[in-house]
Amino acid sequence: MKKMLSIAFAWLSFNSLSAQNTSVQNIEPRLEALLAKMTLDEKIGQLNQVVGDISTGTEVRSDGLLAQIRAGKVGSVLSHTNFDNKTAIQQVAVRESRLGIPILFGFDVIHGYKTIFPIPLAQAATWNLAAIERAERIAAAEAAADGQHWTFSPMVDITHDPRWGRVMEGAGEDPWYGSLVAQARIRSFQGDDLSAVNTLAACAKHFAGYGFTEGGREYNTVDMSEQRLRQLVLPPFEAAVQAGCATFMNAFNTLNGVPASMNKHLVSDILRGEWGFRGLVVSDWNSFGETIIHGAAADDVDASAKCLSAGSDMDMAGGTFQRGLQKALAQGRVSEQQIDDAVRRVLRLKFALGLFDDPFRYLNPNRRAQTLEKPEYRQASREMAAESMVLLKNDGGLLPLDPKGPFRKIALIGPYVNSIGHKDYMSFWTLGLGNPQYDSTKVVTPAQALKPRLEEMGFEVTVTEVCLDANCDEKALSAALNAAREADLVIACLGERGIDCGESRCVSTLELPRGQERLLQVVSRNNKPTVMVLFNSRPLAFPWASENVPAILVAWQPGFEAGNALADVLTGSVNPSGKLTVTFPRNTGQIPLYYNHLNTGRPQANFGQMWTSGYLDVPNTPAYPFGYGLSYTTFGYSGLTLSKTAIGPGETLEVSVTVANTGKVTGQEVAQLYIRDPAADIARPVKELKGFEKIRLAPGERRTLTFKLSAKDLAYWNHEGRFKADSGQFRVFAGGNSVEVLEAEFELKE
Ligand code: BGC
């Protein structure tokens, strides 16, 4: 039994807004002077956020938006796209309401705004934080130029369940990496000045636990230990506070029985108390009102009292505070001081954004025209999409396509070879494009880009779109079969529709949807080598393809530049370097399957071993593990060396490993560092990511990388309710994914 070390880590508290180097000076006296003039109605109005011209929820649409604004009953408008209307709305707020308080416009800027980037999960697969920052800076510049002030992003929820449609919005299953991605996104949305015309206020969401909804079903129950919450769910949120994130959003779910919006433990104790967050907390869409439906509040008054008292501030889309807060005050359930504090947080954000100095600063039509959809933004999207693609299989070096190789005729087939509609290659979260039925005409499809590129290289290319609707199944299959028969090589573009990606897009099975496995099987009757390209928003399960298809590329939902990025990778002008940040299971029943699991008392060494923790019908191992991804070259790892065999609590250990490009072309590799505490005071994960570096190596080139570990990296939230590291032996692993690693040991001394 190890002894506990008293290494309590003082987590820094930040005032998120004062952490911003805002050019708006003297906010507090101006804010207090304004607050002193406000009636109770006007204060409650500032806590009310109403829906603009796009709805993603089930609210009852409120008529007379302008009349409400004129009456001082609205503090913020969300999901409004029309630029001219935004100007009109702001004019009414500023010129016709009694105190002229400007409206705060909030919007879901999730993977680009006008220029659509790969989905966030794909962005995370680049392991390139600089590229993620560049994407978010572009998204912020476009959104701010279009009159938005505030994005409801990043979603920093960790999840173990790819059935959950929102897995696409996060950074994957690892809390350490998720924290870095969260900070990168926040840094680039906000810049160092919220009042700059190319930045947005960020919002860390959904606080908290939403990624662990039972059965991966949207809006469902979450129940977890405090230890798991602290260790797995909260780190990216705390990292968000440390990065100066301006706002937080409640989650829809209950956490251990208490709806997150009225969860004092989460919002008051942890977020505001322990972490010192002083920014605004907004509800999720009617999540104050839904406390009643959860069965945890009696009515609007009760819900208002409970949510405000928990520390939440602004009511998104529900109108609960409008109906209930005044009465809650009259009944003594909340104090005017509590209301004032919430209003202060709203006003402080408006001041920091510079809205009191110039309410129209984000509504400049010239700047808008110059900023939106610049060609270089598309180029950035293309580069990121290519970098995010993950090569899962490449038997016999089938890829990249070589004009000097044995194949002349290529058949491009599948439902996603040239799809215009269903927001394909994107997601439901492309609201910034305006029209919810957006027809994807700005997307470059695989057929549009790949066909001419391959023809230029000397290949002959046919395109067979395969519709997979119930009506045309057999016809589609025979067209595909014929196309494959005529070809030397097949590229099958499969996956999911764009609109099946995002909120309320959960699935009960991960197997290739809409008969696509059958399509693959039929096509392969011709015995032509096949490349399976997946456009997907979540890990899918495709055991037949893994067994029978020689090359598999995960292209995710890549955004506007889908086809060009795919062509870059398939032709080898970009060597794939993406690696998974989520585990791909063999089948749906393996879920939850994640790399940083506990060992159990009976771990299974081999499939079929009885009396161990496993299944009769499938091994415990994933189809493709966390951190995995191939390249057109190969990399070798050697010489894992530690600077010391033991470190004290205040010391740093240096871990070195040499990575060599052992193949024939230049490539990029994501070298990863993991640790394990095999004999802690409570059971700890079999591996935990603690470092990575992405490097480019020419053929034959080798580089020694050095990672640093200190006691802080070894600490965990223990059964005494503290972050601590236990002294004793630790294992350290380095390699190109979470499974194939070199291993060494060291000791943490007391
Ligand atoms: C989602 C949030 C989103 C909000 C506003 C909700 O349904 O859960 O993530 O920010 O809608 O669109």
Taking the C-alpha atoms of residue 483 and residue 519, their distance in angstroms, rounded to an integer, is: 12
- The rounded Å distance from CA 78 to ligand 1 centre is 10
Q: Evaluate if residue 651 carries a pLDDT over 60.
A: yes
Residue 94: phi, psi to the nearest 5?
A: -80, -35
* CB distance 219 to ligand 1 below 6 Å: no
* CB distance 205 to ligand 1 below 6 Å: yes
Domains of the chain plus CATH, in order, are: 15-369 (3.20.20.300), 390-577 (3.40.50.1700), 635-748 (2.60.40.10)
Residue 4, CA atoms < 13 Å, CB-side half-sphere:
14
- The rounded Å distance from CA 318 to ligand 1 centre is 12
- Catalytic residue list contains 284: yes
3-state secondary structure of 292: helix
pLDDT attached to residue 14: 33
Name the DSSP class of 137: H
| CA nearest neighbour of 559 among 387, 415, 426 | 426
Taking the C-alpha atoms of residue 488 and residue 478, their distance in angstroms, rounded to an integer, is: 17
Q: Evaluate if residue 183 carries a pLDDT over 50.
A: yes
Q: Please give the average per-residue pLDDT across 529-556, as a whole number.
A: 98
% of the chain at pLDDT higher than 90: 89
pLDDT one-digit tens code per residue, 303-355: 999 999 999 999 999 999 999 999 999 999 999 999 999 999 999 999 999 99
pLDDT attached to residue 204: 99
pLDDT attached to residue 20: 46
Ligand 1 atom at minimum distance from 152 CA? 10
Residue type, 350: K
Query: Which tokens go with 366?
Result: 């010239």
Q: Evaluate if residue 398 carries a pLDDT over 90.
A: yes
pLDDT attached to residue 439: 64
In DSSP notation, 605-623 reads SSTT-TTSS--SSS-SS-S
Neighbours of 257 (CB within 10 A): 12
Q: Please give the average per-residue pLDDT across 237-262, as a whole number.
A: 98
**Pairing mode of beta strands 635-642, 688-697:** unpaired
| CA nearest neighbour of 428 among 499, 504, 506 | 499
* CB distance 79 to ligand 1 below 6 Å: yes
Q: Please give the average per-residue pLDDT across 256-266, as a whole number.
A: 98
pLDDT one-digit tens code per residue, 598-634: 999 999 999 999 999 999 999 999 999 999 999 999 9
Q: Please give the average per-residue pLDDT across 724-733, as a whole number.
A: 97
Residue 158, CA atoms < 13 Å, CB-side half-sphere:
24
- The rounded Å distance from CA 503 to ligand 1 centre is 8
Query: Which tokens go with 675?
Result: 């640790």
* CB distance 284 to ligand 1 below 6 Å: yes
pLDDT attached to residue 654: 98
pLDDT one-digit tens code per residue, 271-309: 999 999 999 999 999 999 999 999 999 999 999 999 999
Taking the C-alpha atoms of residue 644 and residue 708, their distance in angstroms, rounded to an integer, is: 12
Asked if the peptide bond before residue 154 counts as cis, ω within 30 degrees of 0, the response is: yes
Residue predicted with more confidence, 468 or 587: 587
pLDDT attached to residue 55: 66
pLDDT attached to residue 421: 80
**Best mutation site among 167, 284, 428 for ligand 1 pocket (most ligand atoms within 8 Å of CB):** 284
pTM over 0.75: yes
Residue whose CA is at the smallest distance from ligand 1 atom 8? 284
Residue whose CA is at the smallest distance from ligand 1 atom 6? 285
Q: Evaluate if residue 472 carries a pLDDT over 80.
A: no
Assign 491 a pLDDT band (cuts: 50, 70, 90). very high
Assign 526 a pLDDT band (cuts: 50, 70, 90). confident
Which helix (H) or strand (E) segment holds residue 248: the answer is: strand 247-250
CA distances in angstroms from 465 to 261, 492, 555, 617, 712, listed in the order given: 46, 10, 18, 36, 54
pLDDT attached to residue 62: 53
Assign 23 a pLDDT band (cuts: 50, 70, 90). very low
Residue predicted with more confidence, 241 or 477: 241
* CB distance 285 to ligand 1 below 6 Å: yes
In DSSP notation, 620-647 reads SS-SB-TT--B-SS-EEEEEEEES-SEE
Q: Please give the average per-residue pLDDT across 33-45, as a whole number.
A: 98
pLDDT attached to residue 514: 85
Q: Please give the average per-residue pLDDT across 2-18, as a whole number.
A: 36
Q: Evaluate if residue 6 carries a pLDDT over 50.
A: no
Average pLDDT, the chain: 94
Instruction: Quote the Cα angle for 645-649-651, to 5°.
Output: 60
pLDDT one-digit tens code per residue, 689-720: 999 999 999 999 999 999 999 999 999 999 89
Q: Please give the average per-residue pLDDT across 657-663, as a whole number.
A: 98
pLDDT one-digit tens code per residue, 669-681: 999 999 999 999 9
Assign 369 a pLDDT band (cuts: 50, 70, 90). very high
Query: Which tokens go with 566?
Result: 């795919």
pLDDT one-digit tens code per residue, 63-111: 589 999 999 999 999 999 999 999 999 999 999 999 999 999 999 999 9
- The rounded Å distance from CA 284 to ligand 1 centre is 6
Taking the C-alpha atoms of residue 139 and residue 386, their distance in angstroms, rounded to an integer, is: 18
